[in-house]
Amino acid sequence: MGVRQALLQALNFATVLASGFMMWKGLGLITNNESPIVVVLSGSMEPAFYRGDLLFLTNPPNSPFQIGDITVYKLPGVDIPIVHRVIETHSAANNPLNQRLLTKGDNNAEDDIGLYNGLEWVERKHVIGKVRGFMPYIGYVTIAMNDFPWLKYALIGFLAVMGLFSRE
């Protein structure tokens, strides 16, 4: 393989990465969401969602949350977003979009007040999005790569080698 061909392969690889990044950012703009796709990491929402399910989120800015909506929220001081159902809402009289939410996992015995780190409610600013759809078990790839970091590096290395040495 000549230098010219190697540079062409590297450019193709960079184009694929840039395209993926642009699609992710475009999806974020369309859904009004910084993280339009998340993976369920625990069994707290069974039987609605199981560990490894891939969730598609939207965050409609002019639509209040309703009891029964499944939300993904991230609280200050907590690294991992939580996927739970809204069981109670409180809105300001002059602004129905200024909501405070109480949530609970379908498979949990109690509500989430214990998870709120001293907060009494989940506020709208903590909500990442509302679940609009899901694909079962697709997220296990992400879970496996987080649980076994060597697998992530092996996959990236394999794809890089395949990209550099492919003939097309």
- Candidates 53, 79, 84, 106; catalytic one: 84
DSSP β-ladder status, 37-39 and 54-58: antiparallel
Which residues on neighbouring strands pair with residue 145, listed in sequence order? none
| Cα four-point dihedral sign 136, 137, 139, 141 | negative
Distance CA 164, CA 162 (A): 6
Token pair recorded at residue 79 = 């690294």
> HSE of 157 in the Cβ direction (CA atoms, 13 Å)?
6
Query: What separation in angstroms does the CA of 144 have from each of 7, 47, 55, 116, 149?
Result: 32, 22, 17, 28, 8
- Candidates 44, 69, 91, 126; catalytic one: 44
Q: Could you confirm whether 90 is annotated as catalytic?
A: no
| Amino acid sitting at position 127 | V
- Candidates 112, 126, 147, 166; catalytic one: 112
Q: Could you confirm whether 44 is annotated as catalytic?
A: yes
Q: Could you confirm whether 84 is annotated as catalytic?
A: yes
> Would you name the residues annotated as active-site residues?
44, 84, 112
